[in-house]
Structure 1
Amino acid sequence: MKINELNNEELKIWLSLARTIGPLKFSSVLKACGSLDEVLKYLDGLANNKKVYGIEDAQKEINDAKRIGAKIIPACSPDYPNILRNILGYPPVITALGNVSLLNREIIAIIGGRNSSVNGKNFASKLALNLSEAGFVVVSGLARGIDTAANGVIYKNHPTIAVTASGIDVVYPRENFDLYKKITEDGGLIITELPFATKPKPQYFPQRNRIISGLSLGVTVVEASKSSGSLITANFALDQGREVFAVSGFPLDSRCSGSNYLIKNGAKLIESADDIIESIRFSLPPRQKSLFDVEHSQKNIKQEELQQAKSVIVSHINSVSIDIDELILASGLSTGLALMALLELELESKIERSPGNKISLIF
């Protein structure tokens, strides 16, 4: 993928492909087509067999974004954050409203439960302020509770990024409308990968969570239960090679059961922003599992070797979801070969991915 700006016609083709096939297949199809002209032919071929998000749909979305001052950023744009571009299943496009330059700053995520305590929200606010004063940008999900407290650092004159599980023009929850406006008007940024006017649905929240962790050098969990989506974000962070931090809580408080669980399983316990800053500043750069790593390694993988790897993977899975890291370990395959085989199986619709970096066999 060459990093360059697209003109309007090219952006419409890119956007049409992204909306038609989704993030998991996007990079492979784009690479196979070789050019946007070939992508257009590919989309024309699909039109007979499935619903295609057409060029007119793409132009309408571009116009709608411009109308409210938002910008549609394809993954090949210089404005697209490098750290996000290098995750598996990166969003082919993001729509941004506000200060786009924040995307290439050092970013730390603060997330947690919606049903949070006053102490939890106060601590999240303090973390966000201290991290911002140290030069980081705080990202969260604009949800009620801990997310609201973290994104609320904008009220203390520090920029923040909010990633939403809805279209750029849809504020959820509605109680955060004022916070949404403050972020977009006072130097912060709202981003989403979803089309204009999209209403939030349950399946969109795990998708959003991978972006929160994908943007970040580290993810901090404050007051999350074991059923919280924050644990999904933490799993994404681990898969993406990010640091995971957690704040411990009272053992009998169910709101802290997930945070405590993360600490017991290797997350770094933190008591202040200094703990996060020290770990981020003085640790080695995180190793990211990148789709580009997989594509590069493909050059050294023979077709017979790849077919054999696919057979090995299929023999280790069934209709019950399994963690990808566990599968790779059980298969005995190298990480690069296993990821390439998984990608091909997914493109062949033989496996499907579920939240928490898990896959299962399609019968």
Structure 2
Amino acid sequence: MQQDVEDGGSDSGELENWLKLTQIPNFSVASLIKLQKKYAIELSEVFAASKATLQEVGFRQQQIEAILHPDQRLLNVSLEWLNSKKNRFLVYYDHLHYPPLLKQIASSPPLLYGYGDPQSLSNYQLAMVGSRAPSPQGRENAHFFANSLSECGWTITSGLALGIDGLSHQGAVSGGYTTIAVLGTAIDKMYPRRHIKLAEDILQSNGVIISEFAPTTKGRPEYFPRRNRIISGLSVGTLIVEAAIKSGSLITARYALEQNREVFALPGNIHNPMSAGCHHLIQQGAKLVTCVGDINEEFQHLISPESSEKVDKLQKNTTQSLASDKLLDSVDFEVTPLDIVAQRSGIEVTEVMSQLLEYELRGLVIAVSGGYIKLGEK
């Protein structure tokens, strides 16, 4: 276990004890902390104790069996995964590189399996989550905000899911910035499969991919909402980009509130059901966000003023230039038919089509069924 010694100054015995802890039914980090406070007992002493002692401190029969007879095969699976290749890590709750913010939540995972540099888990992080089937504007917002926030010094954290999650990671990676992906599956089962290339790009940009689930763990639907507490727990705030009323993104927002973290939401079209969740959060007190500065002003003690001002100035200049463009001003942030664009701008349809093609190549609009949608500032 030389890798673990170098990473955290600990030994293989301590790591194995934490691996054994995960085999104890209905026993968590919180349970261990309560036990330690009441009996001043260390984790290593738990696994060295007799059956009588374990009964005396309150362990039930099934738990005692797991403590006295841990499944060595499961231990070996995790250790073999860790040691089979470089760029892998396994940090436990008492490890040097276990993220401090994650220790503050009520249900801290005892172990984090990961690829990349575990020290990045202590970066100042902002979670970005949202719909798996976002609108064109939602897609643009996810990429733009992730890239701009990364430029300000934030590490973007999300769940590698389709839609807003993946686009947020891509927004960070496109600028060569660090981003953290939290899986809802075993660490050796990248999901969804179509994001394997994105996962590779994340690691090539010095990003990190983590999971609380050991290699070969079989997937279960409830693991995905469960991992959301880690996404919000790693982060000082969570930005909901686009989400329906009943969605996993609102579960993440609820976790963030329970963890006493900030919640932000982007407003959207009132007729778009994918914006209903954001509007609900805003009504409940989440901060409405229209630009990167709306987030940065809440964390002035964390973000470099120079980088924040640079992004804000860029946004302001771009917004002013777009506002002065008569043609672009004729396209709404929702589907606008070509004839309406021509009518509003007073420009011939053929010229409108030519200019809109140029704008599409520049990423300012997108052609959709029924017309065009303005994508906003870039």
TM-score normalised to the size of structure 2?
Answer: 0.69
**Counterpart residue number, 2:210:** 191
1:77 aligns with 2:95: yes
Residue pair 2:77, 2:215 contacting (<8 A) in 1 also: no
Which deviates the most, 4-13 or 75-84?
Answer: 4-13
Identity %: 34
**Aligned match for 1:142, one of 146, 160, 166:** 160
**Counterpart residue number, 2:17:** 13
**Counterpart residue number, 2:137:** 119
Q: Which runs of 5+ in 2 are unaligned?
A: 1-7, 303-378
For residue 156 of structure 1, report the CA deviation from its aligned partner: 2.5
Cα separation, 1, equivalents of 2:150 and 2:115? 20
1:161 aligns with 2:180: yes
**Counterpart residue number, 1:38:** 45
Cα separation, 2, equivalents of 1:167 and 1:29? 29
**Aligned match for 1:63, one of 73, 76, 80:** 80
For residue 48 of structure 1, report the CA deviation from its aligned partner: 5.7
1:204 aligns with 2:223: yes
Q: 1:105 to 1:132 in 2, by over 3 A?
A: same
**Counterpart residue number, 1:28:** 34
Matching residue's letter, 1:246: A
Matching residue's letter, 1:120: G
For residue 186 of structure 1, report the CA deviation from its aligned partner: 2.9
Matching residue's letter, 2:278: S
**Aligned match for 2:147, one of 129, 138, 145:** 129
Map 1:277-288 to 2 at 5 A. 277-281=296-300
Point out the structure with max Rg over C-alpha: 2
Deviations 1:83-104 (A, max 9, x none): 1111111111111211222111
Matching residue's letter, 1:9: G
Matching residue's letter, 1:71: F
Is the partner of 1:245 in helix, strand or coil? Answer: strand
Deviations 1:140-161 (A, max 9, x none): 0000000001111213211100
Deviations 1:177-199 (A, max 9, x none): 10111112331000111111224
Cα separation, 1, equivalents of 2:101 and 2:50? 29
Residue pair 1:166, 1:197 contacting (<8 A) in 2 also: no
Residue pair 1:13, 1:39 contacting (<8 A) in 2 also: no
Residue pair 1:99, 1:184 contacting (<8 A) in 2 also: no
Cα separation, 2, equivalents of 1:107 and 1:151? 13
Q: 1:274 to 1:125 in 2, by over 3 A?
A: same
**Counterpart residue number, 1:331:** none
Cα separation, 2, equivalents of 1:268 and 1:163? 24
Matching residue's letter, 1:60: V
Is the partner of 1:49 in helix, strand or coil? Answer: helix
CA RMSD of aligned residues (A): 2.2
Residue pair 1:95, 1:168 contacting (<8 A) in 2 also: yes
Aligned residues: 280
